[in-house]
Structure 1
């Protein structure tokens, strides 16, 4: 892809990052030897000041954003918290986030391991408590933006197109793609976005979050607590995810592939300004399977 086509990304995937993948040899369905690229997984232990919080399985890029975003999305970093340092030790596979306000979570959260299954290690009950305070802006979404974003994201060079077995999450503004993060777990990818927004001081009220993962209750809650009013996915929904999206006023769009999508929350905020018959179908080589 040309530089011009990727010019609106502030952060884009780097499929040439060799340390994130490795080549392995296997046999195909005919018994012939074949070599493929596979994504590496590595542990990353996150500390908040002196307290060990969680160990996440991750691909290893943007560890500082992942740590800050995880703590932010779990309510352990508040709006007025000042981060004094974020210390990443690649050899020890740790990130320590230090704040001016001393924090302790010994009783709230013992050490957990968040696996590549995405959801382990999330303090779900605490996230639910914050929903009563959510007041999302009611922004309009143009279908022309959705079609443009789906094409742009799906054809951006990425680790997924290089090796598969990975989730992508993109922060968007209207039809612009701002930050594209990937990881083995969809929650890790979202947390990287949250960490970037918190550290860069980027507002959420006019943004949309796109994910390749399914729109479960946790994904909906996390997006709402981030203050992002629109959530879109290539994958499907769960009933509870839809219920919560309607409860908090989150525009929720799923199964977004080529010219097709389904809006199950926020239909009144959808502006159908483009004829879907004018939108080309996805090319076969870019068709991602619905991620889990």
Structure 2
């Protein structure tokens, strides 16, 4: 996941030649049924899980049973599915830390969350602290962390140069383990973007939490389709931007007020 690289380190007026750990990045060309579907810049682990998660969140497969084979060699992944003539997503390159654009999509056509998951705020704070305690990030300063949890605790924690990659990897892991995604929630180190929200909606993951920010489009989509977004979880603080009724210790009057705002916004779209 990282390599020691020589560099010149400066401290004030002092400069020395030293070694420094730097996170690894590699291109992965994904071919589905003989057609190039994606080139992603990823961290070189859990590549099989990334491929499965990508196929699922892009709607190429609806279940792992639709996959005939996955072959990964060096920087190439070749996948055969049981529906070889299915139309694929457009060929594209996903750069590290970046995802697709949601601005051209019709929000109403995205799936709605169906889940009875509820959480309390203290659990959210505790899990954020646990999931994002990354020694690799401390060492390199160049990694995103995404964790998946359910009522039993940690399902999996993934590290990658891109948070969208990490989310695909963790969804792929859960699909292979036959985990009920509607009972899980996501913790991430970076910004909650519209693409992160879209992937959670596709996987029917009802809650996404970050110690960082979100975007207006992510909030609009989440409010319309029933996803809970929680941002800026730091110490005792957090911002709940949508579907606060999933967090049990938020007073009902406050969560209902937010729901009324969500309904009004939905009418205007």
8 Å Cα contact 1:150-1:258 kept in structure 2: no
**Residue 236 of structure 1, CA deviation:** 0.7
Which residue of structure 2 lines up, in the alignment, with residue 32 of structure 1?
15
Q: Deviations over 1:137-168 (max 9, x none)?
A: 1422111211220221233x442122111111
Q: Matched residue of 2:241: which SS?
A: strand
* 8 Å CA contact 1:214, 1:237 repeated in 2: yes
1:154 aligns with 2:154: no
Residue equivalent to 2:93? 113
Unaligned ranges ≥5, structure 2: 251-269
Distance 1:103 1:234, change over 3 A: farther
Rate the CA distance shift 1:87–1:238 in 2: closer, same or farther, 3 A: same
- For 2:132 and 2:49, the matched residues in 1 are separated by 23
Task: Show the 5 A alignment for 1:11-22.
Answer: 20-22=2-4
- In structure 2, the residue corresponding to 1:235 is in which secondary structure? coil
Change (3 A) 1:169 1:261: same
Alpha-carbon offset, residue 246 of structure 1: 1.1
2-side partners of 1:85 and 1:127: how far apart? 33
Partner of 2:185: 208
The aligned counterpart of 1:12 is: none
Normalised TM-score (structure 1): 0.77
How many pairs are equivalent?
Answer: 248
* Counterparts of 1:86 and 1:247, CA distance in 2: 35
On the 8 A contact 1:51/1:105 being kept in 2, the answer is no
Instruction: Name the SS for the 2:183 alignment partner.
Output: coil
Match of 1:48 among 3, 25, 32: 32
Contact in 2 for aligned 1:20/1:59 (Cα 8 Å): no
**d(CA) in 2 for partners of 1:78, 1:123:** 21
Structure 1 equivalent of residue 211 of structure 2? 234
2:246 counterpart residue number: 269
Q: Distance in 1 between matches of 2:195 and 2:20?
A: 33
Contact map agreement 1:145 1:175 (CA 8 A) in 2: no
SS at match of 1:141: coil
Aligned equivalents of 1:47, 1:114: Cα separation in 2: 14
Give the 3-state SS of the residue equivalent to 2:181 in structure 1: coil
Question: What's the TM-score, normalizing by structure 2?
Answer: 0.83
Q: Which residue of 1 aligns with 2:60?
A: 76
Q: CA deviation at 1:77?
A: 1.2
Equivalent in the alignment of 1:186? 163
- CA gap of 1:126–1:89, structure 2 versus 1, over 3 A, is farther
Q: Which moved more, 1:249-258 or 1:96-105?
A: 96-105
Q: What displacement does 1:104 show?
A: 4.5
1:142 aligns with 2:120: yes
